[in-house]
A and B are shown apart, each in its own frame.
Chain A
Amino acid sequence: MMQEGLDDGPDFLSEEDRGPRAVNVDLQTDATLQVDISDALSERDKVKFTVHTKSTLPNFKQNEFSVVRQHEEFIWLHDSFVENEDYAGYIIPPAPPRPDFDASREKLQKLGEGEGSMTKEEFTKMKQELEAEYLAIFKKTVAMHEVFLCRVAAHPVLRKDLNFHVFLEYNQDLSVRGKNKKEKLEDFFKNVVKSADGVLVAGVKDVDDFFEHEKTFLLEYHNRVKDASAKSDKMIRSHKSAADDINRIASSLYTLGTQDSTDLCKFFLKVSELFEKTRKIEARVAADEDLKLADLLKYYLRESQAAKDLLYRRSRALVDYENANKALDKARAKNRDVLQAETSQQLCCHKFEKISESAKQELIDFKTRRVAAFRKNLVELAELELKHAKGNLQLLQSCLGVLKGNT
């Protein structure tokens, strides 16, 4: 990996990023079960993650082991949690987004095609830039997959899940095919039903103040995080474009500077050098903003959705419970199938109460995690901004000193 240093290529793997990359979530690393992604390989159309586990739990055959997993297998694991009724009362850690190198790959390809039309320096430069971009995306997708696993491993109940253990340990392909068309269609309808239900359920005022507050809060929060996430992305993209422009300006100044050996040409060369260094810093600022701010927002967009889903499940259970009550009353009135109705009602009641109890804790934990994650990231963001600005300042000061001294 690249070292940190102003003169090197863009450094996306600084100290804070090494080790467990649980950037967006504040997780206590627990010796009984530690999971991380120790390596990753990008092949033409898939990424292979090496999932590394260290555990003192008796469930596993060894204390330390690794397996290779692909994105689809993460999704399978996530979906298995969602579909498991026992976990209805928990916030299911959001699934990592699919690795998307398409845009980057396309750019690299275009560059290859256009190789003839630019100078060797320009080509090398652009290639380096695109490779850096590719690396950044790669690093991000690794981080997001890792965070998912860490969240599961940190959850008191989910960490015991059998599928999870299989995922961690089974060293062969899980043969998890992606969902076929029929299944995807089913999913689609499930979501439609869910959103329709959601509207219905949202209309029901909750007796419990805590949950009522949470519902209102989450609805608004989720929307605003979504908005902030989208806008942060746009802002950072503009920042990157500006940095790219500075890069090209530096090259152009360099060409001007090499035309001759006059004072002015030497001046141009010095300024070109400055711009090269400055734009590297600018690129890192954009990258850090991306990691600490944009990714944070994106993550909490997904988490807040998962929290909303939990609330939905609880509301659904409440509705079922209320319906079961009504059915029981009716059965008692008619004095028919009373026992059945009673059992059904008890089950619903039990389910609802169980969900409510764990949901309350989950939501409190969510808040704690969120506050801690924001704190960590905002502090790191501010520190990085300061570090880069000071670096820039120093460059400018020393360059101006030289330029003014020479003229």
Chain B
Amino acid sequence: MAASSDRNPPPFPSSEEPEAGLSDMADGDSDEGEDIFVNNSNPVAVSRGVSQPDGVNEEPPDLFSEEEASNPITKSNGVHSDDDNDLFAEAHVELSTDKSGNSSGKDLSSVSGPRTTSSFNQSPASMQPTSLEQLEEEEAKDSFDVDVAVTNPEKVGDGMNAYMAYKVSTRSSLPMFRSKTFSVRRRFSDFLGLYEKLSVKQSLHGCIVPPPPEKSVVGMTKVKVGMDDPSSVEFVERRRAALERYIQRVVSHPSLLQDPDVREFLERDDLPRAVNTQALSGAGFLKMINKASDAVNKMTIKMNESDTWFEDKFQEVENEEQQLRKLHALVDSLVNHRKELCGNTAVFAKSMAMLGNSEDNTALSRALSQLAEVEDKMEQLHQEQAASDFFIFAELLADYIRLLGAVRGCFDQRMRAWQRWQEAQSTLQKKREAEAKLLWANKPEKLQQAKEEITEWEARVTQYERDFDRIGMTVRKEVLRFEKEKAKDFKSQIIKYLEAMLQSQQRLIKFWEAFLPEAKAIA
């Protein structure tokens, strides 16, 4: 809670995008033409409120130490020697500065040389006031120009080896892509594979990597076996929508978008099969997070936080996760009851029709048949409402429960970094003591080695300290960005949910208005 007082909501620039656009987000949209979802012909803007009309292209004063600029390769996202495009080389350099500094989505389009950096070497705590505000301003000025959609699930193959292939379409004017619009076919394990690669690289830096949807053996088996029942259809739709949201979150993250694995995922026609995705099933993912927490809990040296921001924020995140879990369970219950209501209404409608048939007063008989029709329409409404409950509300909560887990993972990464630094320091201490002993024991050959080791460890300590500071900065920035995204996401989704409810009520009114004269006509 203390953190919130440090963090004033940034003044929204007046040219902030209208929220109405957000409510059209493709999250719950289905290509299968459900009434309530707007059928988007274009992949919808990915930017969840962080978009900004172009033209704002200031260079922020760099706040962070740029010693790392000398080591671009180690800090950037690994790989990339196969890229012969100048663009990428530049981007890497940009990236390294990004890693430790501000997000700079806007810099994607303006590939200038490495920016001039001002040296700056303060501890996070003292930098707090200015840096946070400036971080927030940076966030607000980011602009994204990537739209991704996941559509057209198609079954490939037969029997137990069958799988669902999804079309991943990208539309972007960013120069880093080969063309403006393109699409590829991907399967579920490809998405998991992308996550694995990203989390291995990025989470070490304190980045919040969005987690993919969970595996489901039962669900997939039914699909493989070829059952065309409504629950299989719903399963595929649920997965498609979840994959779409996942990839949208990935590309809307400025650092992740730069990652060549992401680009490869979006562009490359033939992606090598991802193996070892078992670890990333729902249970596996949780296990990974919990393993990290366990490691942190086992730390014998307790961290002395100079800045309570991290502790407070972590607590907040844990609380929120708990609350969301509770809420999710409730929404799930609502979905089930509505489905039940749906079924019962259909059955009742039929029963009413039968009663109308046997009624021998003509007018009453007709009215009862009309009532049966109204109830039939109500069933339709309940069905749509249940879908809305699920796809808009419940899935939103499920996504954020997973995301909060990823946030916790971030914090743990920071602790690990601190742990590494502390351990290095104690090793250095030991080396110094050993050197002292050697001096006293007068063994000149070993002394040289000891001195070398001390230098090596001194460098390491400095390195790890910087890593720790850097990761702290990243975590902070990431959390701020996450919170903004989350607020926008929740608001837009819940508004969408309420709008669906509103439409439902309007239709309900029409049905009963049509029935009323029939009832009055009974004589």
- Please report the total number of A residues contacting B with Cβ < 8 Å: 57
Chain B hits for A389, CB < 8 A: 505, 508-509, 512
Q: Which residue of B334, B345, B354, B505 contacts A224 across the interface (Cβ within 8 Å)?
A: B354
B56 lies within 8 A of chain A by Cβ: no
Q: Which residue of B360, B487, B522 contacts A375 across the interface (Cβ within 8 Å)?
A: B522
CB-based contact B358/A231 at 8 Å:
no
Q: Which residues of chain B (351-367) have a CB below 8 Å from chain A?
A: 351-352, 354-355, 357-361, 363-364, 367
Q: How far, in Å, is A118 (CB) from chain B's closest CB?
A: 12
Chain A hits for B480, CB < 8 A: none
CB-based contact A245/B334 at 8 Å:
yes
CB-based contact A227/B338 at 8 Å:
no
CB-based contact B495/A400 at 8 Å:
yes
Known: A385-B512, A400-B502. A260 touches B1 (CB 8 A): yes
Chain B hits for A235, CB < 8 A: 341, 344-345, 347-348
- Please report the total number of B residues contacting A with Cβ < 8 Å: 60
CA distance A89 to B2 in the complex (A): 82
Of all chain A residues, the one with the shortest Cβ separation from B507 is A389
Of all chain B residues, the one with the shortest Cβ separation from A367 is B361
Of all chain A residues, the one with the shortest Cβ separation from B339 is A238
CB-based contact B330/A248 at 8 Å:
yes
CA distance A217 to B365 in the complex (A): 13
Known: A386-B513, A396-B498, A396-B505. A249 touches B364 (CB 8 A): no
Of all chain B residues, the one with the shortest Cβ separation from A270 is B494
CB-based contact A261/B4 at 8 Å:
yes
Q: Which residues of chain A (257-280) have a CB below 8 Å from chain B?
A: 259-264, 267, 271, 274, 278
Q: Which residues of chain A (213-227) have a CB below 8 Å from chain B?
A: 217, 220-221, 224-225, 227
CB-based contact A264/B486 at 8 Å:
yes
CB-based contact B506/A393 at 8 Å:
yes
CB-based contact B499/A220 at 8 Å:
no
CB-based contact A253/B348 at 8 Å:
no
Of all chain B residues, the one with the shortest Cβ separation from A377 is B519
Q: Mark the stretch among B113-121, B212-220, B272-280, B320-328 that contacts chain A.
A: B320-328
Known: A224-B355, A264-B491, A386-B516. A231 touches B347 (CB 8 A): yes
B180 lies within 8 A of chain A by Cβ: no
A397 lies within 8 A of chain B by Cβ: yes
Chain A hits for B351, CB < 8 A: 224, 227-228, 231-232
A234 lies within 8 A of chain B by Cβ: yes
CA distance A397 to B495 in the complex (A): 11
Q: Which residue of B9, B338, B512 contacts A382 across the interface (Cβ within 8 Å)?
A: B512
B42 lies within 8 A of chain A by Cβ: no
B319 lies within 8 A of chain A by Cβ: yes
CB-based contact B498/A399 at 8 Å:
yes
Residue contacts A-B, CB under 8 angstroms, 29 given = A220-B358, A227-B354, A231-B351, A232-B351, A234-B347, A235-B341, A238-B341, A242-B337, A245-B330, A245-B333, A245-B334, A245-B337, A249-B334, A252-B327, A256-B323, A259-B1, A259-B320, A262-B9, A264-B491, A274-B498, A367-B360, A371-B523, A382-B515, A386-B513, A392-B505, A393-B505, A400-B502, A403-B494, A404-B20
Top 10 closest pairs, chain A to chain B, by CB: A238-B341, A245-B334, A375-B522, A378-B519, A235-B344, A231-B348, A264-B487, A382-B516, A242-B337, A241-B337
Show the binding face of A for B, using Cβ within 8 Å: 217, 220-221, 224-225, 227-228, 231-232, 234-235, 237-239, 241-242, 245-246, 248-249, 252-253, 255-256, 259-264, 267, 271, 274, 278, 367, 370-371, 374-375, 378-379, 381-383, 385-386, 389-390, 392-393, 396-397, 399-400, 403-404, 407
